[in-house]
Structure 1
Amino acid sequence: MAEFIESKLEIVMFPWLAFGHLIPFMNLSNELAKRGHNITFLLPKNAETRLQKLNLYPNLIKFHKLIIPHVDGLPYGAETTADVPGPLESLLATAFDELYDEIKSILQNLKPHFVFFDFAYWIPDLAKEIGGIKTLIYLLISPAALCKSTDKATFMTSTAAELVKPPPGYPSTTVVLHESEAKLLSFVYQEYGKGVTFQERLDKALTRCDVIAAKTCREIEGIFCEYIANLLEKPVIYTGPVIPEPKKEQHELSNWLEKFEPGSVVFCAFGSQLILEKEQFQQLVLGFELTELPFLLVVKPPQGTNSVEEALPEGFKQRIQEKGLILDCWVPQLEVLRHKSVGCFVTHCGYGSMWESLVLCDCQLVLLPRPIDHIFTARLMGQHLKVGVEVEKDENDMFTKENLCKAVKCVMDKDNQIGCLVKENHRKWKELLSSPGFMSNYIDNFIQDLHGLVVENS
């Protein structure tokens, strides 16, 4: 057994066509290759340039470029979600599924030990047809967001009511949605690819795969992972947070941040895909103005506008001057979070941002979730772990400038009891998660789990 554990695994990575999926799969690939395992990474040809920069082990991680089929209605050359507006993602999913024959040929030729996937719900059946290949779905959202149905056959939530009132056995009363938020779930019942809904895509992937891997740790989400494992009667294994080491060189925003006192800047980032309504964008910037603190905002132009600048409230730019900086381009989030001038992080609660904020920074956290899975992450951070303060919203899931300002001031006021509590909780979790060997032990144990599954298959 010891000799087998030392053998090298052959793994195929096949993530969904979004950089928010491609990059975490790449980070995990680096950790596996670091320990000598061979990776074949399937990706759109136009994504190779960006991913190549992240490939730390090119001798072990080989890119296989896919030509994404054209589907009527998609812009020509569209290969990732960055190339299409949200309403066209379903067509991109159709193109993704049309890769079936090419993926079948690749797997038949490579005969890997494992295929790691997420949205390609047809991978488990394809692997079984070929034979000898284990399939692993890599979860890039909080497991708490999947713990909603008591019916194994339909794992995702079937009614909005289940989100408001958790089913018997659900392990937490804090990670739930409000009634107004539950209505937002309707998108999972819409078509996401030809003849399949988003819900069905995840249901089939989760129920038919051999193993579920969660980008988390037992200490934080173990109760949710155990619930999933019992419900679906299959192993759920942990990779840990899998966060790459931040770069140490100076970034171009450093000079701007250096103008301000340590811990005084509010940094807000909403990810590469999220686009706010114009009214919410204006409430956001006016809320920062109300705090009277310096701020750095990274956000896409709001819906119906061509630029961030044209969407600003009248007179806003003149009032703020050098105290606020608004960008609509990519910034090195990790490096910004670790800058000494940054004292507060207003986050949309993307799962990757959650881990970066918990593990790598000392900032106070203000939670402003938008998409549905991010709301679960916000509840996990705000109510379950108590490491941040969530911005209050109305019955239509809208926030005001006053409520945003209130949340920021709550955590930034050194004498505020709630602010002190979340800061202390954040400190304790960071101390654990960043302790020597914590993340590497998770990867080592993850690899042992994979070997155990291969032995079971032989």
Structure 2
Amino acid sequence: MSKSDSSKLHVAMFPWVAYGHFIPFLHLSNKLAQKGHKISFLLPKGVQPKLENMNQYPDLIQFFPFVIPQLDGLPPGAETTSVVPMNQQKYLAFAVDQTRDQVEDILKVVKPDMVFYDVWFWIPDLARQLGISPVFYVVVSSMAQWLNTKEVIKETSVEEVMEMPPGFPSSTVKLKAEEAPLVLFMAEDFGSGLSFQQRIRKSREESDAIAFRTCREIEGPFVDHGAEVFGKPVLLSGPCLPETNTQQLEGKWVDWLSQFEPGSVVFCSFGSQSELQKDEFQELVLGFESCGLPFLVALKPPQGCLTVEEALPEGFQERVKGRGLVYGGWVPQELLLHHPNIGCFVNHCGYGTMWEFLLTDCQIVLIPENLDQILNTRLLVNELKVGVEVERGENKQVSKESLSEAIKLVMNKENETANMLRANRAKLKQTLSNRDLQEEYVNNFIQSLQVLVKK
């Protein structure tokens, strides 16, 4: 198919090897395929079976697996961040860098018009050699990119880290002094002789366009600021959320939740990446116990424990029997969030999770861990005023008292702040759940891509 004789696009997708990246890249792929565009999706061999059920258009979206070499420093057979601790992910990045020849062979065969990628800094050079347009696709908050415009080196001071870039459109989305080390992490080696920041910067600067999984209704001023700073096309795909799943919630969850009043249950989930220390885990569950409300907590077993049960404080299960459940396996988070009896969601504010909860009726309590989550949290708490952040103590830990207080605050129907948060969130939900809005974003996005290909 030549570029001149058809308006249908052929897009290759090559995300960072984490489920928090595969899934939004696949959500976008489904939106593009729905409009008749073809997708070639590159991913590690072992990941393909886990994503196949999310491919809504198998006739248009084809997976192309590659093999990640086994390198020193990586757990055997590691293909994604879910099995690689944060301090070893540089080895994973370096291992995927070694697949350049495999990626080149795939791109030569499929001949896409463009390739969407994120941390693979070598893609723009490779793509241009093959006559393919490189598009940097960001599936985290746009603000993380604006922070990334500042050069961060190991000698950068805390004061410099906390200073927002010139022209940054908000004075409320800012970091605290104790969060500076999270920014300084970007200066550390992240494989192939580059820091994490250098990878992202090179990937972004050498792209033909920057695309964001966001919408103006949430991040408008930050998007405008970015377009100014980067001096290249900035495209918005919208949230690209799948249609609300009609799949029924499993009977065991329905039965358990049906014991309680509508909007009364507190649900907590921190995603697949989060692994707590045992003392942090215990402090959290004691916070749920002391809030006095029914709760469902879905967390991975803390470090050093095989099950969540063995990590629970002494006597905890007896005390919360019939009111609280701590679960260590996978849970259908999105379906649970839409259950009418869940009234509050305690989470880490990952970007994908953020879009999910903005479409529910839950009150929001946030405990961010990493830099991206902290920025998302400040946006929601300080700018959009739709949730609260749990205060951390001097040791940066969340205490059972501060968690319990935050939950009680948002769940108090007579509290003015709680009602303001509820009203703001309801308004935002109404805007975001408008199907025409997402449709308009996808159509405009495709038009911008078509313009890019013709250049």
**C-alpha displacement at 1:157, in angstroms?**
12
Distance 1:31 1:346, change over 3 A: same
Q: What is the aligned partner in structure 1 of residue 177 from structure 2?
A: 179
Q: What is the aligned partner in structure 2 of residue 147 from structure 1?
A: 146
Asked if the contact 1:148/1:162 (under 8 Å) is kept, the reply is no
1:83-115 per-residue CA deviation (whole Å, 9 max, x = no partner) reads 333332221111111011111222223331110
Asked if the contact 1:239/1:443 (under 8 Å) is kept, the reply is yes
Whole-Å separation in 1 of the counterparts to 2:148 and 2:158: 11
Q: What is the aligned partner in structure 1 of residue 311 from structure 2?
A: 311
Whole-Å separation in 1 of the counterparts to 2:169 and 2:124: 28
1:355-403 per-residue CA deviation (whole Å, 9 max, x = no partner) reads 11112x1000111111111000000100010000111112442111111
Asked if the contact 1:149/1:167 (under 8 Å) is kept, the reply is no
Q: What is the aligned partner in structure 2 of residue 455 from structure 1?
A: 454
Asked if the contact 1:241/1:439 (under 8 Å) is kept, the reply is yes
Q: What is the aligned partner in structure 2 of residue 238 from structure 1?
A: 236
User: Unaligned stretches of 5+ in structure 2?
Assistant: none
**C-alpha displacement at 1:161, in angstroms?**
2.6
**C-alpha displacement at 1:187, in angstroms?**
2.1
**C-alpha displacement at 1:194, in angstroms?**
3.1
Distance 1:157 1:35, change over 3 A: farther
**C-alpha displacement at 1:265, in angstroms?**
0.3
Asked if the contact 2:66/2:103 (under 8 Å) is kept, the reply is no
1:54-453 correspondence runs (5 A): 54-130=54-130, 132-148=131-147, 160-252=158-250, 253-359=253-359, 361-453=360-452
Whole-Å separation in 2 of the counterparts to 1:162 and 1:363: 37
Q: What is the aligned partner in structure 2 of residue 13 from structure 1?
A: 13
Counterpart residue type for residue 369 of structure 1: P
Moved more, 390-399 or 427-436: 390-399
Moved more, 377-386 or 230-239: 230-239
**C-alpha displacement at 1:235, in angstroms?**
1.2
Counterpart residue type for residue 448 of structure 2: D
Q: Which runs of 4+ in 1 moved over 6 A?
A: 3-6, 153-157
Asked if the contact 1:135/1:210 (under 8 Å) is kept, the reply is yes
Whole-Å separation in 1 of the counterparts to 2:313 and 2:393: 22
Whole-Å separation in 1 of the counterparts to 2:136 and 2:312: 42
Whole-Å separation in 2 of the counterparts to 1:118 and 1:245: 25
Counterpart residue type for residue 260 of structure 1: F
**C-alpha displacement at 1:335, in angstroms?**
0.6
Asked if the contact 1:262/1:340 (under 8 Å) is kept, the reply is yes
Counterpart residue type for residue 418 of structure 2: G
Could you say what secondary structure the match of 1:437 adopts?
helix
Asked if the contact 2:122/2:203 (under 8 Å) is kept, the reply is yes
Whole-Å separation in 2 of the counterparts to 1:403 and 1:68: 43
Moved more, 120-129 or 51-60: 120-129
Whole-Å separation in 2 of the counterparts to 1:157 and 1:451: 43
1:227-270 per-residue CA deviation (whole Å, 9 max, x = no partner) reads 11211111111010111123223222122111111000001110
Moved more, 264-273 or 215-224: 215-224
Moved more, 417-426 or 183-192: 183-192
Distance 1:5 1:214, change over 3 A: farther
Whole-Å separation in 1 of the counterparts to 2:154 and 2:24: 23
**C-alpha displacement at 1:441, in angstroms?**
1.1
Distance 1:170 1:158, change over 3 A: farther
Could you say what secondary structure the match of 1:147 adopts?
helix
Whole-Å separation in 2 of the counterparts to 1:98 and 1:281: 38
Counterpart residue type for residue 311 of structure 2: A
Distance 1:7 1:157, change over 3 A: farther
Q: What is the aligned partner in structure 2 of residue 42 from structure 1?
A: 42
Asked if the contact 1:11/1:116 (under 8 Å) is kept, the reply is yes
Could you say what secondary structure the match of 1:167 adopts?
coil
TM-score by length of 2: 0.95
Whole-Å separation in 2 of the counterparts to 1:51 and 1:5: 32
Asked if the contact 2:91/2:190 (under 8 Å) is kept, the reply is yes
1:310-349 per-residue CA deviation (whole Å, 9 max, x = no partner) reads 2111111111112111112221111100001000011100
Could you say what secondary structure the match of 2:364 adopts?
strand
Counterpart residue type for residue 191 of structure 1: D
Could you say what secondary structure the match of 2:211 adopts?
strand
Could you say what secondary structure the match of 2:271 adopts?
coil
Counterpart residue type for residue 292 of structure 2: E
Whole-Å separation in 2 of the counterparts to 1:439 and 1:342: 26
User: Unaligned stretches of 5+ in structure 1?
Assistant: none
Whole-Å separation in 1 of the counterparts to 2:178 and 2:319: 35
Whole-Å separation in 1 of the counterparts to 2:26 and 2:52: 10
